[in-house]
């Protein structure tokens, strides 16, 4: 079953998430034609350590593989989990920046896709629709709603705009581990799936493709790309389900009463 958090625990998550989102803002400023992706990784690592936090992805193990960097990058047709390296960004690229950190044992995880200089109207629209689909899913983070309501919010908005959602990767519960129960798919049917209880924390992360939904993983074992070479965008925020409504954990607590989450 999914883990519910106390308000004191949520405050630690809030610190972790705030550091992640502030670092992503600094990275977005640093994104320019000619910049190498490993330079972005260096900036991310330095900022997280300066804030007194620990990188969450560095050394993270999945399927016997160890992730070797602080930041995940995803340029153009890359969907998620690209390893920063020598590649230089070019005018017209879009780049997904995905970052996590740990504060007092609690995780924050967030991502955004940003433009490198001037980009095509299609890329612009893809980024806008992906971020909107995340906001729509967050609006469903109220007690009593179900996981299918979140997935449906993402899928219906992406598909109404002619795009498709990735199935192979999902959002996730988050807390004292980066990935907790439940999985949070970016597709689904309203009223289906498990109910959201107060104090549940979710990292919601739509990955939306301009073409078909299929993805492939490259030789490095990490970088996911669209099978048809189409563009992909990714936005992620960590959110607590609160009695009054959703709390985006990188933002100040939005309600006047600080009710302990059951
Ligand atoms: N936000 C990503 C996720 O939840 C980051 C994981 S990268 C990893 O899947 F290296 F840590 F796996
Ligand atoms: Co995540």
3-state SS of 45-108? HHHHHHCCCEECCCCCEECCEECCCCEEEEECCEEECECCCCCECCCCCEEEEEEEEEECCEEE
Instruction: Report yes or no on 256 lying in a domain.
Output: no
Instruction: Report yes or no on 205 lying in a domain.
Output: yes
Span from the CA of 256 to the centroid of ligand 2 (angstroms): 29
Give how many domains the chain has, as a whole number.
Answer: 1
The number of the ligand 1 atom at minimal distance from the alpha carbon of 60 is 11
Atom 6, ligand 1: residue with shortest CA distance:
57
Q: For the residues 217-240, what does the mean pLDDT come to?
A: 98
Instruction: Report yes or no on 255 lying in a domain.
Output: no
Span from the CA of 81 to the centroid of ligand 1 (angstroms): 7
* In contact, 163 and 129? CB cutoff 8 Å: yes
Instruction: Report yes or no on 99 lying in a domain.
Output: yes
Instruction: Report yes or no on 171 lying in a domain.
Output: yes
For residue 49 the two structure tokens come to 């350590």
Instruction: Report yes or no on 1 lying in a domain.
Output: no
Structural domain harbouring 84? 7-248
Site residues for ligand 1, CB cut-off 6 Å: 57, 60, 62, 67, 72, 81, 98, 100, 109, 111, 172, 203, 236
pLDDT above 80 (res 259): no
Residue of 65, 81, 97, 113 to mutate, ligand 1, most atoms within 8 A of C-beta: 81
Span from the CA of 259 to the centroid of ligand 1 (angstroms): 31
The C-alpha atoms of residue 111 and residue 52 are separated, in whole angstroms, by: 20
The C-alpha atoms of residue 83 and residue 99 are separated, in whole angstroms, by: 12
Instruction: Report yes or no on 230 lying in a domain.
Output: yes
* pLDDT classification of 194: cutoffs 50, 70, 90: very high
For residue 208 the two structure tokens come to 């939306």
For residue 163 the two structure tokens come to 């795009």
The C-alpha atoms of residue 238 and residue 8 are separated, in whole angstroms, by: 16
Smallest CA-to-CA distance from 194 within 8, 4, 13, 5 is with: 4
Instruction: Report yes or no on 107 lying in a domain.
Output: yes
- Give residue 208's pLDDT: 99
pTM of the model: 0.97
- Give residue 1's pLDDT: 46
Q: For the residues 117-137, what does the mean pLDDT come to?
A: 98
DSSP 221-245: S--EEETT---EEE-BEEEEEETTE
CATH of the domain at 46: 3.90.230.10
Span from the CA of 67 to the centroid of ligand 1 (angstroms): 9
pLDDT above 60 (res 262): no
Average pLDDT over the chain reads 96
């Amino acid at each position: 079953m999914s883990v519910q958090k106390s308000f004191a625990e949520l405050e630690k998550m809030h610190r972790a998430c705030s550091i992640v989102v502030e670092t992503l803002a600094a990275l977005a400023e640093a994104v320019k034609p000619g910049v190498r992706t490993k330079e972005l990784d260096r900036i991310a690592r330095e900022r997280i350590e300066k804030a007194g936090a620990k990188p969450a992805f560095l050394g993270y193990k999945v399927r016997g593989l160890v992730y070797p960097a602080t930041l995940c990058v995803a340029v153009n047709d890359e969907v998620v989990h690209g390893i920063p390296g020598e590649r230089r960004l070019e005018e017209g690229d879009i780049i997904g920046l995905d970052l996590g950190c740990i504060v007092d044992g609690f995780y924050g995880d967030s991502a955004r896709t940003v433009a490198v200089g001037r980009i095509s109207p299609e890329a612009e629209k893809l980024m806008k629709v992906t971020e909107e689909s995340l906001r729509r899913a967050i609006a469903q983070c109220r007690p009593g709603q179900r996981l299918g309501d979140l997935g449906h919010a993402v899928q219906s908005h992406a598909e109404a705009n002619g795009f498709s959602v990735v199935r192979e990767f999902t959002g996730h519960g988050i807390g004292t581990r980066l990935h907790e129960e439940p999985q949070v798919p970016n597709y689904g049917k309203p009223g289906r799936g498990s109910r959201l209880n107060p104090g549940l924390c979710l990292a919601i992360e739509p990955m939306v493709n301009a073409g078909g939904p299929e993805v492939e993983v490259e030789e490095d074992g990490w970088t996911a790309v669209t099978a048809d070479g189409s563009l992909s965008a990714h936005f992620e925020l960590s959110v607590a389900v609160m009695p009054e409504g959703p709390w985006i954990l990188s933002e100040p607590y939005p309600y006047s009463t600080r009710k302990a989450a059951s």
